[in-house]
Chain A
């Protein structure tokens, strides 16, 4: 009985831990105004990649958006928008 409850507790803790880790990785698509060329998307991608917590970045001037995968315990979407705005482009809602 004692062993059974211990196994149950461990299983519960493991599930909770895995759930927390999975929830930390997020993907946001942010629309950006003002990008007209490859250089523009390159500039935005560079600053996003240098932001702590950002895991993966795909910026397209054709789609006028940035798809950012990030650790939401280290960076927020609001911060990513700030970083984009600091490049001279505009992250739109």
Chain B
């Protein structure tokens, strides 16, 4: 094999590994308009400049119920840093049941009844609970399947809170 061929092969290898190492660009979240269980309208676009955790959950899902007190705590502790939690139930869910459940757990963030199509806008995963992390620029930064662990919050979400918002990116 000639030296030129070896060199060419090396360049191709380096180029392909560099491409594999690149993170695919995060997609911009779809516009979502919800009515929460208290009748308030929630527009996802109104949350630009905030870090949003969209938590899909259900009253019949034990880990979902176990996770909610942690989300309540995070909302309380990091609200002033721009963290906003939005709960969306996974169907089928009765409004009265969801209202009772959230009241019992002292939920301090908006909760809306969701549809399967709504969840499909963000993820194809069947996991529940599942939390979609949206950056200040409105792009999906992460999808966390199962209960959000403290170390996941520290590693994936907390750094986003201190990062300045680059809202001009959202116009792209």
Chain A residues near B (Cβ < 8 Å): 34, 38-40, 42-44, 46-47, 50, 86-89
Contacts and interface: CB of A to CB of B under 8 A. Distances in A.
Interface of B: 61-66, 126-129, 145-147, 149, 151
Main secondary structure on A side of the interface with B: helix
B62 A87 contact: yes
28 contacts: A34-B62, A38-B126, A39-B61, A39-B128, A40-B62, A40-B63, A42-B145, A42-B146, A43-B63, A43-B129, A46-B147, A46-B149, A47-B146, A47-B147, A47-B149, A50-B149, A87-B62, A87-B63, A87-B66, A87-B147, A88-B61, A88-B62, A88-B63, A88-B64, A88-B65, A88-B66, A89-B62, A89-B63
A47 B64 CA distance: 13
A47 B152 CA distance: 11
Given A47-B147, A88-B66, 14 more contacts: A34-B62, A39-B61, A42-B145, A42-B146, A43-B63, A43-B129, A46-B145, A46-B149, A47-B146, A50-B149, A50-B151, A86-B66, A88-B61, A89-B62
